[in-house]
C-alpha cells in the first residue's frame, strides 16, 4: 500500500489559547505497509471534542499530553480497506482513537486498540460518534451514576446545545425532570425548547442571563449537568438546593486557557457545596467500557421512541479540523461536531 | 433579675473583609426577667469559628445572615443561674447557639433551642466546644461519611493546626492513613508532627510549600480534608489520585472576602475532579444531631486511648472576641479558639 499517502496532523507546539497555525502541521506521509495481525482503515469521520484541546496542552488530564511530533489524538470511525487479520475484513468499520489522520493502522498491540463495530452498522456512522457513541454514553453515565435525578426535580444543563449536553437534557426529560438548558444563542435555545422538549433555555450571551436563569428555576436547582464551568457554573451553584448533585462532565470555558500562564479565572462559589451539602463528582466515559452495551441499549431505545433527537455539525475535510475545533469554543456548532474526512 | 446587666455584641454593619470597629457594637442591656418555661444562663465559654464571619455577611449560607441589629450568633457553653423549668436547675450547663453575650435566656421556643448537658459535665467545658463538641464531631463526620479513608492511603488536611483539622488529622492516623498537614508556621508543624503524630506537615507560608507538599505526598493524595480553599486546595487538587475524595469542610481562605465586591479569587483546578474522577462533598455538622452520641463515643474513646490530643487558645473577655476572630483568619491561634466570657 505504499502508493497511498496519509495526510495527518502532527502536534508541533502546545497552544496558548486557541489553536494557532504553529500548533498543528498537516503532513503528507506514505501509509505504512501492514504486517500480520494488522489491518489498514480509512478514516470516515473524526469526532471533535473539547478534550482535544486539553490533550494538546501539558495540563494534567486523564490521558498524557500528546507528545510533540505525534499525530494528534482523536476519536474516529474508519472503514477497513485491507486486512491481515482473520477477525477483520475490508468493509468493516472500526472506532476509537484513530487520530487526526486519513489512514490508520489497526493493531491490537496499540495502547488504545480500535474496536470493531458490528456489520452492518446499527446506525449511520456519524451517530456512532454521537448519541450512540462516547458522546451519548457520557450523558447516560453522568445521569445514571451521579445525578440521582428524580421526577419533578430541576436539572440545569450547560452547553445544552452541545453534543453531550443535548443528550443529557433529553434523558432528563425522559426521566420526568424539569430541564433548563443554557446555550449560546436565541436560535439554539428556541430549538432546544421547541424540538428537544426542554422546559426552558437561557441564552448565556444575553445581558440578563442570570435573571433569566433565576426565573427559569423557581424551585432552585437539584442537579447541575455541568459542561461549561466558569461564570455559568458559579451562578448555578448560587441556586443549588440542599443535597444537590453536580455532574462534572466538562468545563469547556476553562480549556482554552490551558497553556496560558494565568490559567482559568477559577470558580468562586465552590463553598456553596458546603452551604447546601452538595456533591460534585467528575467522571469519564473511558472508565466504563463494560457498560457501553447497557448505555447504547438505553439510548437506542430513546431514539426509537422519538425521545432523543440530535444535531450534527459536519465539516468537510481534515484540513478544516483545527479551525472547527476553535469554533467549538465560541459555540459555533450545534450538536455533535464532526469532520468528514473521506 | 433585672439588676443584672447583659453585655452583648450586636451586629451593626456587614463586614467588607475583616471585622472592623463599625461591624459589631458592644452593648449593655438589662437582662430580661424569665417567665414560665424559661431559664437564665450565664455564658462561660464562647466558641469562635470561621463560620462566624460568614454569618455576619449576606453570603448565602446554611443559616440566614444575622439580621442587622441582632445579637451576633455564636455557639457557647453556659451555666444556668435561674430556672422556671422543671428539667433545668441552677448549676446545669447548656450548649448551642447562645450568642455573643454574657447572659442568655433558655427557651425551647427558640429557633435553635439550647441543649442541656449531663451533670456532672463529662469533660471540662472547653472540651465540650472542642474535640467533644461540634468541632470534633465535624471532623468525625467528614471522615466517617465522606472520606472513605483506607489504611495506607494519603490524607492531606489543610488548617491542620486548627480546631477541626487537628482532630481530623488524628482520626486519620488512628485509621492507619498517612496524614500530611498544612499549617501556618514551622512551630505549628513541628507540634503536629511531634505531639500529634502526623507523618508530615508543611508550613504554607514557606516559599517552597508546593515542593514540600509534593515531597510529602510521593504517592499522591487520596483524601483531602479541606478547611482552607484557595491556592492550597488548588495545589492539592493537582496531586489527587484517581477516585480521590475531597471532604469539603471549610474554605477559611475565602470567608473574609464575603462582602467584598470582588469576592474570592476562585478555585482554578476544579477540572481535576474530572481528570481524576474524584468526588467533592460538602457537609454540615448541624444536619446530623442524631449521630452526635455515636461521634462523641468515638472521640471520647480516642481521647481515653491517648490517640487524640487537642490544643486550645483561650482569650479572656467577651470584649476581645472581634479581634480574636480576625486573628483566626491570619492563623494566630492554635487548636480551638474560645472566649472565656465568665
Backbone phi, psi, residue B326, to 5°: -60, -45
**What are residue A224's DSSP bridge partners?**
A156, A246
Distance, in Å, from the CA atom of B70 to the CA atom of B78, rounded to the nearest integer, reads 19
Question: What is the per-residue pLDDT across B163-174, written as a single tens digit (0 to 9) for each?
Answer: 999 999 999 999
Give the pLDDT score at B299. 97
The whole-number pLDDT of residue B59 equals 86
CB A207 within 8 Å of CB A216: no
* A146: nearest CA partner in chain B: B279
Residue whose C-alpha is closest to residue B167's, from B267, B1, B308: B308
Instruction: Work out the minimum CA distance from B278 to partner chain A, whole angstroms.
Output: 5
pTM: predicted TM-score of the whole model, two decimal places:
0.93
Q: What residues does A10 pair with on adjacent strands?
A: A25, A71
- Distance in angstroms (rounded) separating the CA atoms of residues B221 and B156: 7
Are B282 and A278 an interchain contact pair (Cβ–Cβ within 8 Å)? Answer: yes
B67, B68, B69, B73: CA torsion to nearest 10: 50
Q: What is the DSSP string of A73-103?
A: P-EEEEEEEEE--TT--TT-EEEE---SBSE
Cβ contact A266–B267 (<8 Å): yes
User: Does residue A268 sit at the B interface (CB-CB below 8 Å)?
Assistant: yes
Instruction: Record the cell numbers describing residue B255, joined without a space.
Output: 470567608
Segment A57-69 shows an average pLDDT of 93
B241 interfacial to chain A (CB closer than 8 Å): no
* For residue B255, pLDDT beyond 90: no
∠ at Cα A150 (A49, A305), nearest 5°? 65
* Local structure of residue B219 (DSSP, 8 states): T
User: Is B227 near chain A, with CB under 8 Å?
Assistant: no
Please tell me which of A6-10, B114-118, B286-290 the model is most confident about, judged by mean pLDDT. Answer: A6-10
Can you read off the three cell numbers belonging to residue B74?
A: 455564636
Cα separation, A185 vs A179, in Å, equals 18
A269, pLDDT greater than 80: yes
pLDDT at A1: 46
pLDDT reading at A313 higher than 70: yes
Can you tell me the ipTM of this complex?
0.93
- Name the closest residue on chain A to residue B255, using Cα atoms: A271
Q: What is the mean pLDDT of residues A311-328?
A: 96
User: What rounded mean pLDDT belongs to chain A?
Assistant: 95
| Cell numbers given for B177 | 492513613
Instruction: Give A144's contacts (C-beta < 8 A, 6+ positions apart).
Output: A295
Query: In the predicted model, what is the mean pLDDT of chain B?
Result: 95
| Range A55-65 average pLDDT | 92
**Which domains, from first to last, does chain B contain?**
5-126+311-340 (3.90.180.10), 134-288+295-302 (3.40.50.720)
Give the one of A61, A248, A255 whose C-beta lies nearest to B273's C-beta: A248
Encode pLDDT of B109-140 as tens digits: 988 899 999 989 989 999 999 999 999 999 99
On whether any CB of chain B is under 8 Å from the CB of A264, the answer is yes
What gap in Å lies between CA B165 and CA A177, rounded to an integer?
Answer: 39
pLDDT at B1 over 60: no
CB spacing of A264 vs B268 below 8 angstroms? yes
Task: Quick: pLDDT tens for B200-222.
Answer: 999 999 999 999 999 999 999 99
* Tens digit of each residue's pLDDT (9 = 90 or more) over A173-231: 999 999 999 999 999 999 999 999 999 999 999 999 999 999 999 999 999 999 999 99
Q: Is A30 on the interface with B (CB under 8 A)?
A: no
- What's the pLDDT score for residue A296? 94
> Which residue among B265, B267, B276 sits closest to A282, beta carbon to beta carbon?
B276
Kindly state the cell numbers that stand for A113.
Answer: 486498540
Q: Is B313 on the interface with A (CB under 8 A)?
A: no
Place of cell 487520530: A99
Over residues A131-176, the pLDDT tens digits come to 999 999 999 999 999 999 999 999 999 999 999 999 999 999 999 9
Helices within chain B (DSSP H only): 50-56, 125-129, 134-141, 163-174, 186-194, 209-216, 230-238, 252-255, 272-275, 292-305, 321-329
Given pLDDT bands bounded at 50, 70 and 90, which one contains residue A262? Answer: low
Residues of B in contact with A268 (CB under 8 A): 263-267
Tell me whether residues B268 and A265 touch, CB distance under 8 A: yes
Amino acid at each position: 500500500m505504499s502508493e497511498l499517502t496519509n495526510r495527518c496532523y502532527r502536534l508541533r507546539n502546545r497552544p496558548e489559547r486557541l489553536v494557532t497555525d504553529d500548533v498543528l502541521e498537516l503532513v503528507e506521509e506514505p501509509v505504512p505497509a501492514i504486517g500480520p495481525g494488522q489491518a489498514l482503515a480509512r478514516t470516515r469521520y473524526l469526532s471533535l471534542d473539547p478534550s482535544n484541546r486539553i490533550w494538546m496542552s501539558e495540563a494534567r488530564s486523564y490521558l498524557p499530553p500528546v507528545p510533540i511530533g505525534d499525530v494528534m489524538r482523536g476519536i474516529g470511525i474508519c472503514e477497513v480497506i485491507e486486512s491481515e487479520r482473520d477477525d477483520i475484513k475490508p468493509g468493516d468499520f472500526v472506532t476509537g482513537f484513530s487520530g487526526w489522520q486519513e489512514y490508520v493502522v489497526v493493531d491490537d498491540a496499540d495502547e488504545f486498540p480500535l474496536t470493531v463495530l458490528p456489520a452492518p452498522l446499527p446506525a449511520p456512522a456519524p451517530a456512532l460518534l454521537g448519541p450512540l457513541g462516547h458522546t451519548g454514553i457520557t450523558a447516560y453515565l453522568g445521569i445514571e451514576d451521579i445525578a440521582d435525578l428524580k421526577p419533578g426535580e430541576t436539572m440545569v444543563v450547560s452547553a445544552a446545545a452541545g453534543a453531550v449536553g443535548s443528550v443529557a437534557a433529553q434523558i432528563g426529560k425522559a426521566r420526568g425532570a424539569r430541564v433548563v438548558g443554557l446555550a449560546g444563542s436565541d436560535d439554539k435555545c428556541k430549538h432546544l425548547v421547541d424540538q428537544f422538549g426542554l422546559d426552558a433555555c437561557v441564552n448565556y450571551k444575553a445581558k440578563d442571563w442570570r435573571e433569566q436563569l433565576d426565573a427559569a428555576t423557581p424551585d432552585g436547582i437539584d442537579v447541575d449537568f455541568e459542561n461549561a464551568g466558569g461564570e455559568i457554573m458559579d451562578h448555578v451553584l448560587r441556586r443549588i438546593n440542599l443535597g444537590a448533585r453536580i455532574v462534572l462532565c466538562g468545563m469547556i470555558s476553562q480549556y482554552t486557557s490551558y497553556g496560558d500562564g494565568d490559567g482559568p479565572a477559577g470558580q468562586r462559589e465552590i463553598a456553596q457545596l458546603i452551604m447546601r451539602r452538595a456533591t460534585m463528582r467528575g467522571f469519564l466515559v473511558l472508565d466504563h467500557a463494560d457498560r457501553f452495551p447497557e448505555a447504547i441499549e438505553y439510548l437506542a431505545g430513546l431514539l426509537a421512541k422519538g425521545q432523543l433527537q440530535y444535531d450534527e455539525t459536519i465539516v468537510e475535510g481534515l484540513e478544516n479540523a483545527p479551525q472547527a475545533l476553535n469554533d467549538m469554543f465560541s459555540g459555533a456548532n450545534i450538536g455533535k461536531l464532526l469532520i468528514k474526512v473521506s
